[in-house]
Amino acid sequence: MTRSKLRDFLAREAIRECLVRYCHAIDRADADALYALYWDDATDDHGPSYSGPARGFIEYARSTFEQSPRNVHLLGNVLIEFVEPSIAVSEAYFSAWQTKRTLDGEENTRHALGRFCDIFQLRGGEWKIWKRRLVMDLYQSGSRMQLADEVQFNGFVPIGAPWRSDTFSEVVAEARLLSTTATAL
C-alpha cells in the first residue's frame, strides 16, 4: 500500500469516526462531545430550524434536548472524497427517530431520512466538520411517510434531488472553491 493510499484510508476512518460520534453525542444530549466534533469556525445548516455557526446549532440542540427525551440517529452509506489532502467532502445517509413532547405533554414520534453533506478539514492532524448541510429526503410524523418537498415538510430546503441539482454537488463545488482559496492564502 502506498503512503497516499494509507493516508486516505486513515483519513476516511477518522471522518467516519467523527460521523459516528456525532450520532452518539446528539442521541445522548452531550453538548461537550458535539463541540469537539466541529472546528470553532464551523457552520451548520439544519434547514429552517437553524442555519449559522455550529456552536449556535449546538446551543439550539441543547434547548431541544429537554423536549426530545428519545433520539436515535443511525448512519447508512458514507461517501468520502478528497478535494485535497486536508479537505474532504462527505455524504452520509442517516435515519433519525425522535420523540418530542407536545404542549399537552404527550410524546410525538418523528422519523426522518436524509443526508449529512459535510466538508471536513484536517488541522493539526485532526479531522473535524468544517461545514455541514442537512438534506432531508423523507419525513414521517404520525402514520404517513411523506416526500420531503416544500409543501409537505414546512418549507424545509434543501431536499433530495438527482445528482447535478442535489445539495451534495453544491457541497463538492464549495469544497473545491475553498480548496483553491485556502491554497492561495
pLDDT value, residue 42? 98
pLDDT digits (tens, 9 = 90+) for 98-122: 887 777 777 778 889 999 999 999 9
Residues 6+ apart with CB under 8 A from 72: 27, 96, 97, 98
In Å, how far are 55, 122, 142, 169 from 104, measured between CA atoms?
31, 46, 17, 42
pLDDT in tens, 31-71: 999 999 999 999 999 988 899 999 999 999 888 776 776 78
Please count the structural domains in the chain: 1
Residue 152 DSSP code: T
- Its pTM stands at 0.81
Domain CATH for 115:
3.10.450.50
Range of the domain at 111: 3-184
Whole-number Å distance between alpha carbons of 91 and 183: 24
Strands 71-84 and 87-101: antiparallel
Cα four-point dihedral sign 74, 79, 82, 88: negative
What whole-number percentage of the chain has pLDDT above 90?
52
Residue 51 CA to residue 86 CA, distance in Å, equals 25
Cα 155 from Cα 114, distance rounded (Å) = 15
Q: Does position 150 have pLDDT exceeding 50, yes or no?
A: no
If 0-12 CB within 10 Å is exposed, 13-18 middle and 19+ buried, where does residue 35 land?
middle
